[in-house]
Amino acid sequence: MTVLKNIKQELANFRLRLLAAAAFVLFCLTLLLLRLIYLQIWQHDNLFERGESNRVSVVPIVPNRGLIKDRNGVVLASNYSAYTLEVTPSKVPELEASIDALALVVDIAPRDRRRLKRLMEESRSFESFPIRTKLSDAEVARFTAQRYRFPGVDIKARLFRNYPLGEVGSHLLGYIGRINQAEKKAMQDWEDEDIANYRGTEYIGKLGLEQSYERQLHGITGFEQVETSASGRAVRRLANRPPTPGNTLVLSIDIRLQALVEEMFKDRRGALVAIDPRNGEVLAFVSKPTFDPNLFVDGIDVESWRDLNESIDKPLLNRALRGTYPPGSTFKPFMAMAALNSGKRSPATLINDPGFFMFGGHRFGSPENERGGIMDMRRAIVESSNVYFYSLANEMGVDLIHQQLGPFGFGRRTGIDVEGEVTGDLPSTEWKRRRFKKPEQQKWYAGETISLGIGQGYNNFTMLQMASALSTLISGGQRYQPRLVREVEDVVKHEHLKTVNLAQEPLSLQAQQVSVITEALYGVTQEGTSRQAFIGANYKSGGKTGTAQAVSLRAGEKYNASKVEEHKRDHSLYVAFAPVEAPTIALAVIVENAGFGSTSAAPIARRVFDYLLLGQYPSEEDIALTQLGRSTAPVGKPRSAALVLLPGTPAAIAAASGASR
């Protein structure tokens, strides 16, 4: 039976469905239109920038790092360009397999693999890391021909730091190295402008002047705007701003003098600091042994690092800046000045020196070669009387000694323009309370004061502090903050910006009292402990030898150098200035574990004065004897540096610089 449909009802349903479908389509079109309006109007700038970034890349251009020169224009740190093979681990499917394949094209040593592994552990995986540096032209050509085989691997031209004189002056120059994660984290606290300036920079100063003057040496980063293909390859350059090279540092250091002193130390450990007392400029800043900073530029290998870090000689320790030593008898002139300034003693006060000093039932002795007898201040300094200064320390007390000698810079940072300086120790009762935790250790005992008078006990200073203090004393109290950098050259503006010679508030020393001390120090070179080292000198100098204990002796124990391990023998020290009439140099030198100051340290000071005041180098024979600690006055006739052209010698440096003193 045929069922008749309600035609009208069916038609109404159809129209309803059609209307619903049309409404749905209209709704969707409205959404699309609104989305289009949103993207085209509200999001236009943002999307345009993102679209351009897919096509245009902004590449930072790292500037040439500034040069470092000595006072005579000798280049101590420079740059050179070389090709580097770099890998981005996040873009390499199978890293080890790719490296194995690369090794068939370019020589990759095991140390290169270890370095890459270390860098990957220290940084994020999407960064680019060098796997081989300083590629030859042949290696570059071989890789370029097969580059398609190695996704995520590319060749880049990079600037490398170079220290042309190798180990000479390494502690004052420092070195650069790859930025580590701790340094990157610290950079986050920088100003936005500084952070932007370091985009693309992978190496910064890590030590010495390279670290302290990082901002001046770095320069201003440039950029290059390039159009890239879908594969990320540069197609054409759209715009660029060239980088501004870093400024050049001109040091107060005379690198020929620096090299001469380092050569005279040879394999011995120690330090020497020479300062111009007229302005605080540092003329020599020696720490031995040295190291080659070029080892660190490309990432030091494990073996070299182990040799440097585990050596008993501690070649990475900057002894001039961070090495603290008891000053021994070189402290006596300062004690005498403190006595005069405080009124505790006059130059004419007489003290009997029987060869020992008794205090609290303890016998404080003197070296067996001391003559003893009746001592005034001058004779006590010239003959280095221990008893005179034992008794002086007892009369003054530790707090008065601290009060009088603290302003000379003992136990304080000098403020030199390189990071890492230590304070040293100039003891006082308050110092001891802060230094120790146990109550019984915090108490100051009167017997501890006695040895302070001869530069032993808790006294510990750097050679920088000793040289700076001597500079203050001989200049009548005028104090300067020591400086290694003499001026900064702006390579763009060609301006020479002199560094400020920071004159500090002078000490109120009486000229007559200063004259007493300086005349006594002159006497040391004429009739005292350093007279042999200064025989025949064509200038007047003053100085004071010192022999300081490296380790303490047990009660009743006698010191015998031949029966003591080399690293436990006494240190050899000398502080000196010249010329006496108008000093232009003050220095402090220590030769570790080398015995008497007159035999090892004083001869080095003599050669420094000969170089600076007479323009002379010692003979090769004299240098050899000085290295052995057997030289006194110079052997033979000193000769010009230009006549000695052995590679690596100070003379070769002088000849290379085109100047001869």
Q: How many CB atoms lie within 10 A of CB 621?
A: 12
Mean pLDDT per block of 10 residues along the chain (661 residues) reads 64 79 85 80 68 64 91 94 82 80 82 77 67 82 84 83 94 90 82 82 91 93 72 64 91 96 94 96 96 88 86 94 95 97 95 92 82 92 95 96 96 94 96 91 93 95 97 95 94 82 87 96 94 93 90 58 73 96 96 88 95 90 84 64 40 45 33
CB 569 within 8 A of CB 594: yes
**What was the pLDDT predicted at 276?**
96
> Is 468 tagged catalytic?
no
Radius of gyration of the chain (CA): 35
Cβ atoms of residues 226 and 238 within 8 Å: yes
Measure CA 606 to chain center.
Answer: 26
Please name each of the domains of the chain with its CATH number.
Answer: 83-144 (no CATH), 255-656 (3.40.710.10)
Q: Which of 123, 252, 287, 329 is catalytic?
A: 329
Instruction: Say what the pLDDT of residue 540 is.
Output: 96
Return the ∠ at Cα 328 (arms to 323 and 332), rounded to 5°. 125
pTM, whole model, 2 decimals? Answer: 0.84
d(CA 427, CA 406): 10
Residues in the chain: 661
Interior/surface letters 147-180, b for 16+ CB within 10 angstroms, e for the rest: eeebeebbbeebebbebebebbbbbbbbbbbbbe
